[in-house]
Amino acid sequence: MVTIIKRNSPKEYLLRWLGKLKYGITSMRFTMVATYFAVMLVTLVLMCIYVIGLLSESLYNTETVDMFAKANIIAMTVSDQWGDNAQLSELRFADTVDRSLAGTSIRGVITNTAYTVLYDTNKEAGLVGKAFMRDVLKRGLDGEQAEAYSESNGMKLLMVSVPVEKNGSIVGGVYLAKTMSGIEDTIRVTSTSLIVFSAMIVVLIGMLSFGLSYIITAPIAEFTRAAREISKGNFKYRIKVRGTNEMTQMADTLNYMCDELGLFEEKRRKFVSDASHELKTPMAGIKLICDSLVQAPDVDPAMIKEFLSDMSEEVDRLTRVINRLLVLTKLDGGMALKPDQTDMKALVDRAVRKLWGMAEAKNIAVHRLYSDKTFEPAVLDADKIYEAVYNITDNAIKYTPEGGQVYIDMQERDGFIIIRIEDTGDGIPEAERERVFERFYRLDDSRSRETGGTGLGLAIAKEAVTMHGGRIEISDGTEGGCAFIIIIPSDGGIHM
């Protein structure tokens, strides 16, 4: 055996891969995951920026306030100690400033208004007696509570300066400076922790959104599969989904739809096969007659006439079936009702009149029990309701033996018209009462066929009545036989 392996060209491979990629990117799952991810990422980045900004502002503020507090305490203390003796002043200031700044990394400088340093905590700088020019100090000597930041060698410096006042005039200034490396370190450590924490959240949310998107989209894949199966005519397919209520509800609805479609399809098949069978029987009769005539060597004219009359009967039967099928298909096709004000008494009378001859021929008395009553005009499609009344009365006469009785009564009650057609025939067994409305269904097939029954009369009647929002019930007759009860809303379910 030779196996042919077809290799794809690189172009085909690339096109297929691109197709898959496009499908993946435009898929609901990808969109959901990407959206969750993007929203989460943007939120976390904004949150990090905001939190870090807030933290650094707060730390710098605290530090500045603390520096000003220290500078002002020093300024107040040195003001009391201010004197003409420079050496004595330095000694006093040293005590005050060193004590105030003990345990901190703050550098403190005291100057007079000529910017000459009177005391400097940084002894190594050797600035005492020399000029110390700083912009922030100038502002301090001008009477301002001055602050400034500078940055050198990647190190941030916070500087504050306040005036030293004695007897209402400015005699000098206090300058304090501190590196911000502590605060910067705190901000760096916090930022790193926040970023790591955010990254973990993003990964976690990413995994969760992937799982969630799978839970949500998995049923959709199942629905797609089901729709494909249903469109192929596989109505036995059942959708199995677990998860959210909406999805299981949708699956139940689709499964129900499948059941209904399956039943509908089964009915349609049965109808087609029954209809074909019904049409085939008279056709076979006609064929048989034709063959007999052709094969007979010499047939006398009387015989030909008899054969032709048999053939005519078969054609009549065929026509009857076809006509009834046409009526039924029209009703089935959801043909619009043509409602009108209808005199119900006249409608039933018309059906009785039409069947009077048949009743007389069988010596059956048809009692019009409604004849003395008066009725409001009903709003309904008279032709269709006439068809129903006619078919049921026709059955009552047809399936009642000679000399029997048929009672027809009518009444109006609670917005409904109730027509009761009772006979004294053989009746319909309880178990068959649903089935007689089925198409082509006959209780006694051969007998009904003999009487010319097509088995479509009650199907037509039921269709016409249900179109009006009504129903037909069957019960036992009071003198044997059975009673058909037609119940229709007097506005024909049309609410004009």
Ligand X SMILES: Nc1ncnc2c1ncn2[C@@H]1O[C@H](COP(=O)(O)OP(=O)(O)OP(=O)(O)O)[C@@H](O)[C@H]1O
Residue 249 class from Cβ within 10 Å (0-12 exposed, 13-18 middle, 19+ buried)? exposed
Query: Among all chains, which residue has been given the structure tokens 């009077």?
Result: 356
Q: If you write DSSP's letter for every residue of 203-249 in order, what string do you get? A: HHHHHHHHHHHHHHHHHHHHHHHHHHHHHTT-TT------S-HHHHH
Q: How far apart are CA 461 and CA 385, in angstroms?
A: 8
- Interface with ligand X by CB under 6 A: which range of 33-41, 158-166, 291-299, 388-396? 388-396
Please give the sequence-ordered ranges of beta strands (E in DSSP) within 369-448, or none if there are none.
378-380, 405-413, 416-423
Supply 422's token pair.
């009772």
Residue 457 binding Mg ion, by CB under 5 A: yes
Strand partners, 413: 416
115 closest CA partner among 136, 88, 138: 138
Taking the complex as a whole, how short is the minimal distance between the CB of residue 465 and ligand X, in angstroms?
13
Taking the complex as a whole, how short is the minimal distance between the CB of residue 223 and ligand X, in angstroms?
41
Residue 275 identity (one-letter amino acid): A
| 3 state SS for 181-202 | HHHHHHHHHHHHHHHHHHHHHH
Q: Which is nearer to ligand X, 172 or 404 (CB)?
A: 404
Q: How far apart are CA 92 and CA 99, in angstroms?
A: 11
Give the number of residues in contact with Mg ion, rule: CB under 5 A: 2
Residue from 29, 70, 324, 420 that binds ligand X (CB under 6 A)? 324
Residue 391 binding ligand X, by CB under 6 A: yes
Long-range contacts of 472-480 (CB under 8 A, 24+ apart): 472/388, 472/392, 472/437, 474/428, 474/433, 474/436, 476/427, 477/422, 477/423, 477/424, 477/427, 478/422, 479/405, 479/424, 480/424, 480/425, 480/426, 480/427
Residue from 139, 454, 467, 470 that binds ligand X (CB under 6 A)? 454
Query: Among all chains, which residue has been given the structure tokens 């007897």?
Result: 167
Residue 436 binding ligand X, by CB under 6 A: yes
The residues in 385-404 that bind Mg ion, with binding defined as CB under 5 A, are 395
Q: Which is nearer to Mg ion, 209 or 395 (CB)?
A: 395
Taking the complex as a whole, how short is the minimal distance between the CB of residue 246 and ligand X, in angstroms?
44
- Interface with Mg ion by CB under 5 A: which range of 218-226, 253-261, 278-286, 449-457? 449-457
Residue from 423, 465, 472, 488 that binds ligand X (CB under 6 A)? 423
Answer with the entry of Mg ion, ligand X, none that 455 interacts with (C-beta below 5 to 8 A by kind).
ligand X
Q: How far apart are CA 366 and CA 351, in angstroms?
A: 12
Q: Torsion angle of alpha carbons 251, 256, 262, 263, nearest 10°?
A: 180
Runs of H (alpha helix) within 7-124? 10-26, 28-81, 86-101
Answer with the entry of ligand X, Mg ion, none that 454 interacts with (C-beta below 5 to 8 A by kind).
ligand X
Instruction: Let me know: does 338 contact 386? Beta carbons within 8 Å.
Output: no
Residue 358 binding ligand X, by CB under 6 A: no
The residues in 252-271 that bind ligand X, with binding defined as CB under 6 A, are none
Strand partners, 112: 172
Residue 399 binding ligand X, by CB under 6 A: yes
Residue from 457, 470, 489, 492 that binds ligand X (CB under 6 A)? 457
| Phi, psi dihedrals of residue 376, rounded to the nearest 5° | -70, 150
Residue 456 binding ligand X, by CB under 6 A: yes
Residue from 29, 317, 442, 468 that binds ligand X (CB under 6 A)? 442
Residue from 342, 393, 395, 490 that binds ligand X (CB under 6 A)? 395
- Interface with ligand X by CB under 6 A: which range of 7-15, 114-122, 162-170, 452-460? 452-460
Residue from 136, 364, 428, 464 that binds ligand X (CB under 6 A)? 428
Give me the count of residues in the chain. Answer: 496
Q: How far apart are CA 431 and CA 275, in angstroms?
A: 24
Residue 465 binding ligand X, by CB under 6 A: no
Q: Which is nearer to ligand X, 108 or 455 (CB)?
A: 455
Taking the complex as a whole, how short is the minimal distance between the CB of residue 432 and ligand X, in angstroms?
8
Residue from 444, 473, 476, 479 that binds ligand X (CB under 6 A)? 444
Q: Which is nearer to ligand X, 71 or 331 (CB)?
A: 331
337 closest CA partner among 437, 458, 470: 470
Taking the complex as a whole, how short is the minimal distance between the CB of residue 329 and ligand X, in angstroms?
15
Give the number of residues in contact with ligand X, rule: CB under 6 A: 23
Taking the complex as a whole, how short is the minimal distance between the CB of residue 403 and ligand X, in angstroms?
16
- Interface with ligand X by CB under 6 A: which range of 141-149, 195-203, 290-298, 425-433? 425-433
- The site for ligand X (CB under 6 A) is made up of 324, 391, 395-396, 399, 423, 425-426, 428, 436, 441-444, 448, 453-459, 482
Residues at the interface with Mg ion (CB under 5 A): 395, 457
